[in-house]
Amino acid sequence: FYGTTLSGTPEQQPRWKRGVSTVSGAMGEAIGQQYVAQYFPPEAKATADQLVKNVIAAMGDRLRNLAWMAPETKVKALAKLAAFTPKIGYPDKWRDYSALTIKPGDLVGNVARANAFDYDRDLKKLGQPIDRAEWFMTPMTINAYANPTMNEVVFPAAILQPPFFDPKADPAINYGGIGAVIGHEISHHFDDQGRKYDASGKLTDWWTPQDVARFKVFTDALVKQYDAYEPLPGLHVQGGLTLGENIADLAGLTVAYDAYHRSLGGKPAPVIDGTTGDQRFYYGWAGVWRSKFREPALRQTLLSDPHSPGHQRVLTVRNLDPWYAAFGVKPGEASYLAP
């Protein structure tokens, strides 16, 4: 029902894909270690690490200059950023599976033993200090997450590939792609949800009531903007439902743009194939969200997903002055957004 009726998927995944999914779920870091060895060389991690450092530095600059945030709140925000942990590619220490017995030809038994292994591992955590080095996503997962209770963002190796990231690509493309996605995740630690957790991940609201009121004025306008998008006849993006992710897209693009220019070290960006660095930056963002939906899946997304569809996520650029300058967008054009 979920696959065919709600998502419009015509058939089940091939058996080999389901097998890969099962093994990945049972021994994620063992598979991840092999994935990293083959697809994520040290130079790729080094490039990604430097990009992340620039994005974090740009986030600090933006926090210092936020007009709506009170001075005392900025102090707490910057303390939280200073304690922030980015996890890039793969864990510093791989999980030890030597106690897990795998028997060829015994699928059901292998799955049962893997589940018991994970359960026993979780039990051993009781009463112990929190392992802040632990990952809750495998290296071969094409995704990322922000964890407010650990004050961290996690970017597995698998998302650090085209179209998000390519260590051999023009930096503008990488900053517009994975840089903006990294900025997106970091920004969640400083938005209306991230404000509920302090630098150590404890449940503490560190905004003032005035911060909340000023933030709401800004977000109300963003809700109306996204409410107006109509991807399917009669079915609009829900500006309220998607607000948190739309804010993060806007913040992510903003700090990634700053980080890109920081990476240039004061030098002008080269013109490549007739395109400027700023233009290529926004091409990187657009490339990340190219997507094709079956109508049932798009309908389900619009009704229940806190993320806007890809096309509308690209349109975040309409809120950014550098985008207008990069492409010479003028009032009256379809993509122009009146102030």
Active-site residues, by number, are 185, 249
Question: 3-state DSSP call for residue 255?
Answer: helix
Conformational region of residue 265, where left means phi above 0, alpha means psi within -120 to 50, and beta covers everything else: left
CA angle 124, 133, 29 (to 5 degrees): 75
CB 120 within 8 Å of CB 113: no
Q: How far is CA 226 from CA 96, 240, 297, 337, in A?
A: 47, 8, 19, 12
d(CA 66, CA 93): 38
d(CA 26, CA 150): 24
The set of residues, in sequence order, having a beta carbon less than 8 Å from that of 199 and lying 6+ positions away, is: 76, 79, 80, 82, 83, 151
CB atoms < 10 A from the CB of 322, how many?
16
| Greatest Cα-to-Cα distance within the chain, rounded to the nearest angstrom | 67
d(CA 230, CA 239): 11
The set of residues, in sequence order, having a beta carbon less than 8 Å from that of 153 and lying 6+ positions away, is: 84, 85, 86, 87, 144, 145, 146, 147, 182, 185, 186, 189
